[in-house]
Structure 1
Amino acid sequence: MSTIPDVRPSTLDGIKRKAKSIGRNTKISHLAALDVSARHSGFENFHHARKAFESGQERNQLHSIFLSAYWHDTSTKPSSAGLETLEIQLPKPLSSLLSKHQCSYAQNLQGFFVECSDHLEMRGNASSLDRAKELLIRAALALQFIEATGLHPVTTKLQRKAMELLDKLPSCDHVSRWISTSEDWVALDEPYRHVTKQPYLGTREAWVTENNIHWAKPNWGGLYYPGNAVPHILSNNIDLLQKTFAVVERLSENTLKKDGQWALLTQEYYSQFVSPARKSTAKKRKPRPGTTYGFSKNAVEYQRSAGYPSRWRPDQIMSMENHKEMGRVFKRLYFSDTPYTAHAKLKELQSELEDWMFSEYRHENRSDVDVDVYYGGNDIKSYLGTTEMVNAIDHLRAILESTYLDSKPLRDHLRKLDLARSHIANGQH
């Protein structure tokens, strides 16, 4: 069955068009589809949406955004666990505030992903119920900041390069980097209170003046640790700084609360939160990664973490002699003039194969497994020229194929080796 596009219409005509799509995909009546489409845009039903658009009330419409976090507290006897979901309401829908790729770059949102157009979910587990609530509130404050300022997190090397001078700001801490639609940057520096006293204050003021940067300290709790860290705004554009300063001083976490309290929903640990937008798509959620068991031919699962895909390796054991040989080759390739794209793939493989080795020999005493097999050592010689490097890659492939039976994790590694070989052979940097 094809799915309904996960988009929130912002006009009455858009709601009608979405209803036609819903009707085609779910076979429900057109009237029912109109109500589903209207609810997806934040209205009670289509009649409510039409009345709101006709009266102009849609301009004041608030959009619900849901943030959820699993938690598992092993300090209790017995251990306890659960799922907390926080609902906030903002003037703009989540889809207009943050794209999927931007989420992991935003302060307080690094551990979250966009599960649906109205729902952010934290991937891993928080260590306790209180920690889960804290992370959800910080995430809510970040969304409020993004919506109010119109800024987006910096995501590209070019954007970061324009701000690299900030790395030298004395006593900077918990710095988050933001960009405006005009590509002017804003940084939020949130050190602890000692920076408000001398000599830290004078040193920082002198550095800002010397580097022709504008800064200000708003009367605002900030994002990283409200009430404890002290936020400072820095920018290369005085107008943007002043605008951002004025906006954040009007912000208060109370604006996100309902009746002075955070609207939290508590569920069982093995449940899943299903948001209104997810319900409207009629598309079921997949099981949470790391919480179900699977099977892969000739492979064994060797690492599992709730919220993340399980890690697998071939279900055979490579001799320590071959591990050491592969380690020697990887070390030499590391010091060789490999193209950057090949170097990145080889570094990834080097790390993963070390993990395979420790998993294969996990029952041995740690002292019996040389920790320097894949890293460390002195007087490592590089390979000279493309031919030597390509031959080294082929040697690695031969060892892997002679040791392990065909399996998905082996095939994944061989593909990475093939990509590295191709980049070396073609000189692709």
Structure 2
Amino acid sequence: MSNDHIRPSSIEGIKQLAKRFKKSDGIQHAVALDKASKAAGFENYKHALRKLAGGLAAPGASPVLYISVSWRDRMTKATGCEILKMPLGKTLDALLKPAQYKASRGLGTMRREGPDHLGDTYTASSQKAAREAACEAARTIQFIEATRLVPSKAKRSFPRGQFQNRMPGSDHDAAWFDPAAKTFIRTNEPYARSSVSPEQHAWAERLGWAVAVSPWKGMYRPDGGTSLFLLADMSKGYLLEQMISRLAEAPAPIVASAWDGESRPIVPAFVSPGQLAEIEAKVPEVKMAGERRGSNNSVAYSMVLSGARRRPKSRMPIEGHKLVGRLLKSILIGTRARAGVHRRVDAIRCELDNWVQCEYKRDELSDDVFFDLYYHELPEEDALAAVPTSWDRHIVNLDEVKATLVRYYPECPPLRQLLKKADLAIRSLRTWNVAPTHTRRVDRSDIHRNRDPDDGGRL
């Protein structure tokens, strides 16, 4: 693959391209870094570090962000993907880290797909819901860029560190951290209120806090009657005037009623320019020695979203995939609060979703069956759809998943990696002392449909 057309937009992208230059041109790493930096539009690597570390875009390019949300209407069976493009003053990675997304209501279900792309891991129930989700995420980014705050879930952000001290009339409140001032502030977005009430004034005076109404309408429902309140601890010396001024100059909140995004089919999956550059920069050079290892129990495969990987050199029966998918879905129920379980199990099903795409063509595996193998929630009548009375059921199910994989796949590194994830999830379950509780069940269809359409498969 030629390196000439790749134009990195981040330090990580420059580093990845430098590795390719080093290998293809036989040059020193420092020389390769400078060459990759020039490809990105900078004078050299030091120049790129100074500019990109400060959150600026590559020369000649204004930062933009794509927000994609897939949707599926259960009644009509219609599907699609809504894509919103918004301008930024800084790159996404300069505004906040992916680990901070989950602390925000508007970004909690979003995942960094690339340096210029946020993708929703939930599948919305309609086109309207998808647009609303994309706009709420966009408004959150607008707020972060204007205020220079980052989302937080710290309990000490409440007055005197106590939840019961929250402001009277609080609704849709959230915590934020100011990296410059090293302190927390809170936001509130109640309905039908555009001024601070006497009760709230008294609360603020009693606790030594400041309350102000923002001229910018907010993140939650700015076109549905909510207002944005800013709250800060005055004993920390924090003043809200500067933040109010920044919000007054911010662009109007992006709302679904003024939608100007793109609507496209759910497949092929949307890949942003920056995301594509990162993928291409990470594609390893093909080695002749690797091509001769035919006796290995694994084979190489490549996906648009995940790049080059390996999978077992065999295929599991469709019924085996159905069983494993059902078990994995059941394990994800009630475990969202336990990242050691939920993330690993989600990674297992994502990988198996890739494998089954490589194992079966469309004439062997229909779309209706394929899309339900590893995604979509279990039917309510399924015995595994309810939250278990204890985590023992999940442990038993994970053991059955492992046994099924070992039964149908040959021993190889890709299989060992999945089994290790399952073992770590089991270990996490055994040390989890929190009792299972009912949680809202959401239809998630994390779209990783990566077959090449030219081959007659899913993307």
State the TM-score, normalized to the length of structure 2.
0.56
Residue identity matched to 1:85: I
Is residue 2:203 matched to residue 1:207? yes
Query: Structure 1: any 5+ residue segments left out of the alignment?
Result: 288-292, 305-309, 314-342, 349-358, 376-392, 425-429
The 8 Å contact of residues 214 and 234 in structure 1, kept in 2 or not, is answered as: yes
SS at match of 2:172: coil
- What is the letter of the counterpart of residue 183 of structure 2? D
Distance (whole Å) between structure 1 residues aligned to residue 139 and residue 146 of structure 2: 10
Preserved contact between residue 215 and residue 233 of structure 1 (Cα < 8 Å): yes
CA deviations 1:192-250 (Å, max 9, x no partner) are: 01x458xx922222212211111101222111111310111001145442221111121
Q: How does 1:9-88 map to 2 (within 5 A)?
A: 9=11, 20-24=18-22, 62-75=62-75, 78-88=76-86
Partner residue of 1:381? Answer: none
Equivalent runs, 1:256-335 vs 2, <5 Å: 263-281=260-278, 282=280, 283=283, 284-286=304-306, 300-301=323-324, 303=326, 311=329
- Classify 1:102/1:161 alpha carbon distance in 2 versus 1 (closer, same or farther; 3 Å): farther
Distance of 1:280 and 1:207 partners within structure 2: 52
Distance apart, 1:374 and its partner CA: 2.4
| Mapped partners of 1:207, 1:189: distance in 2 | 14
Partner of 1:252: 251
Is the CA contact 2:8–2:274 (under 8 Å) kept in the aligned structure 1? yes
1:217 aligns with 2:213: yes
Report the Cα offset of residue 27 of structure 1.
7.2
Partner-residue secondary structure (3-state), 1:311: helix
Q: Amino acid of the residue matched to residue 63 of structure 1?
A: P
Q: 2:389 aligns with which of 374, 380, 395?
A: 374
- Sequence identity percentage: 20
Counterpart Cα distance in 2 of 1:234 and 1:176? 10
List aligned pairs for 1:27-176, cutoff 5 A. 62-75=62-75, 78-156=76-154, 163-165=161-163, 168-176=166-174
State the SS of the aligned residue for 2:201.
helix
- Render the CA deviation track for 1:378-416: whole Å, top value 9, x for unaligned: xxxxxxxxxxxxxxx9xx79x959x96934699977756
Consecutive unaligned residues in structure 2, runs of 5 or more: 28-32, 284-303, 308-315, 332-336, 343-377, 406-417, 434-459
The residue matched to 1:210 in structure 2 has which SS? Answer: helix
Deviation at 1:24, TM superposition (A): 3.8
Q: Deviations over 1:110-158 (max 9, x none)?
A: 1211111111000111222222222212211211211121111114566
The count of residues paired between Structure 1 and Structure 2 equals 328
Q: Is the 8 A contact 2:189 2:229 kept in 1?
A: yes
Residue 186 (structure 1) aligns with: 185
Kindly name which structure, 1 or 2, has the bigger radius of gyration based on alpha carbons. Answer: 1
8 A Cα contact 1:186 1:235, kept in partner? yes
State the alpha-carbon separation in 2 of the partners of residues 166 and 7 from structure 1.
45
Q: What is the SS of the residue equivalent to 2:227? A: coil
- Give 1:8 shift: 1.2
Contact 1:173 1:191 in 2 (8 A): yes
Which residue of 1 is the match for residue 364 of structure 2? none
- Matched AA of 2:243: T
More displaced stretch, 183-192 vs 415-424: 415-424
1:311 partner letter: K
Write the distance in 1 (CA, Å) between the matches of 2:203 and 2:159.
19
Q: Write the distance in 2 (CA, Å) between the matches of 1:119 and 1:302.
A: 28
- Alignment partners' CA distance in 1, 2:106 and 2:340: 32
In the alignment, does 2:232 pair up with 1:235?
Answer: yes
How far apart are residue 96 of structure 1 and its match?
0.5
Contact 2:157 2:186 (C-alpha < 8 Å) held by counterparts = no
SS of match in other structure, 2:246: helix
> Structure 1: which amino acid aligns with 2:74?
T
Tell me if structure 2 keeps the 8 A contact 1:102–1:153: yes
Cα distance change, pair 106–361 in 1 and its aligned pair in 2 (3 A):
closer
Which secondary structure does the structure 2 equivalent of 1:207 belong to? Answer: helix
User: Distance in 1 between the 2:317 and 2:36 partners?
Assistant: 36
Secondary structure, in 3 states, of the residue corresponding to 2:10? coil
Give 1:318's aligned residue.
Answer: none
Alignment partners' CA distance in 2, 1:242 and 1:265 = 37
Residues 40 and 280 in structure 1, CA contact (< 8 A), matched pair in contact too:
no
Question: Contact between 1:88 and 1:263, CA under 8 Å: does it hold in 2?
Answer: no
Question: What one-letter code is carried by the residue in structure 2 that aligns with 1:8?
Answer: S
* Alignment partners' CA distance in 1, 2:339 and 2:79: 38
Q: Distance in 2 between matches of 1:25 and 1:93?
A: 29
In structure 2, C-alpha distance between the alignment counterparts of 1:101 and 1:207, rounded to whole Å: 33
Give the conservation status (yes or no) of the 8 Å contact 2:172–2:189: yes
TM-fit CA distance, 1:21: 3.6
Distance in 1 (alpha carbons) for counterparts of 2:86 and 2:191: 28
SS of alignment partner, residue 99 of structure 2 = coil
8 Å contact from structure 1 (residues 107, 223) kept in 2: no
Match in the other structure for 1:387? none
CA contact (8 A) 1:71 1:125 kept: yes
Q: Does 1:8 align with 2:10?
A: yes
